[in-house]
């Protein structure tokens, strides 16, 4: 079974600074997707960024980028130029090809200080 | 395009009472998920539908939980009778089908059992 681990229950960052959230996963599959979702207090899960395992190039979406290390099974999220609106719970998730579901980590609460 | 719609957003019930949640997925999405999210944790899959067929319900407590997806569109999740430990956020999500390239979430229903 796939597992996703987020070892940082909480992180904080100053506005305009950079922060990195960590995620590791375990799988025996070779083809899969990895995701970072943001969940603000409104509870709406919002997709931040997605990485396809067979692509070596790290995904980037504006201020958000990932460091995908397939051999190490590591998938970190870097937020540059942090904004107050980035404050939320962030979840790392795994989507495999054998199992048509998303498996989530425990989440990291991100606080952004003005 | 409308996103995933869930209702109600909040529900407070007494233990042993029944409760039902409703979900309308994004039009054309064959895969529908029900997740349960306990406070401060990541979502956990309860059941996954491919069209009208429940293809993964291994984590659904079948003694008290039931779900249906008539005609492969809307879905209802029911709990009868509710227990105190069922207090959580219930999230519905949908995806186009097949492998999980992306899942779109509703705003969830926060259930409080007193």
Closest Cα in chain A, distance from residue B49 (Å): 10
Distance from CA of B4 to the nearest CA of A (A): 10
Instruction: Verify whether the Cβ–Cβ distance A100 to B45 is below 8 Å.
Output: no
Cβ B6 vs Cβ B76: under 8 Å: no
pLDDT at A99: 63
Of the residues A102, A103, A108, the best mutation for testing chain B's interface (the one with the most B CB atoms within 10 Å of its CB) is: A102
DSSP string over A2-70: -EEE---SEEEEETTS-EEE--EEE-S-SSEEEEEEEE-TT---EEEEEEETT--SPPEETTEEEEEET
Q: Which tens digit of pLDDT belongs to each residue from B46-105?
A: 999 989 999 888 889 999 999 999 888 999 999 999 999 999 999 999 998 766 668 899
Q: From first to last of the 114 residues of chain A, give the pLDDT tens digit.
A: 789 999 999 999 999 999 999 999 999 888 899 999 999 988 889 999 999 998 889 999 999 999 999 999 999 999 999 999 999 999 999 998 766 788 999 999 999 999
Whether the Cβ atoms of residue B20 and residue B67 lie closer than 8 Å to each other: no
Say whether B42 and A107 touch across the interface (CB within 8 A).
yes
């Amino acid at each position: 079974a796939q597992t996703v681990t987020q070892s940082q229950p909480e992180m904080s960052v100053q506005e305009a600074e950079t922060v990195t959230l960590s995620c590791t996963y375990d799988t025996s599959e070779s083809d899969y997707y990895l995701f970072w979702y943001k969940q603000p207090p409104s509870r709406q899960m919002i997709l931040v960024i997605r990485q396809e395992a067979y692509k070596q190039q790290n995904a980037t979406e504006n201020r958000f980028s990932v460091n995908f290390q397939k051999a190490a099974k590591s998938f970190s999220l870097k937020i540059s130029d942090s904004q107050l609106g980035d404050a939320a719970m962030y979840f790392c998730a795994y989507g495999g090809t054998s199992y048509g579901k998303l498996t989530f980590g425990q989440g990291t609460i991100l606080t952004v200080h003005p | 395009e409308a996103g995933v719609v869930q209702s109600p957003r909040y529900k407070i019930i007494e233990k042993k009472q029944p409760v039902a949640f409703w979900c309308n997925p994004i039009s054309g999405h064959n895969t529908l998920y029900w997740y349960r999210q306990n406070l401060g944790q990541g979502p956990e899959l309860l059941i996954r539908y491919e069209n009208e067929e429940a293809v993964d319900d291994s984590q659904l407590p079948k003694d008290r939980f039931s779900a249906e997806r008539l005609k492969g569109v809307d879905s209802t999740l029911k709990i009868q009778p509710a227990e105190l430990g069922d207090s959580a956020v219930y999230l519905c999500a949908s995806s186009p089908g097949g492998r999980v390239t992306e899942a779109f979430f509703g705003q969830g229903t926060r259930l409080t059992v007193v």
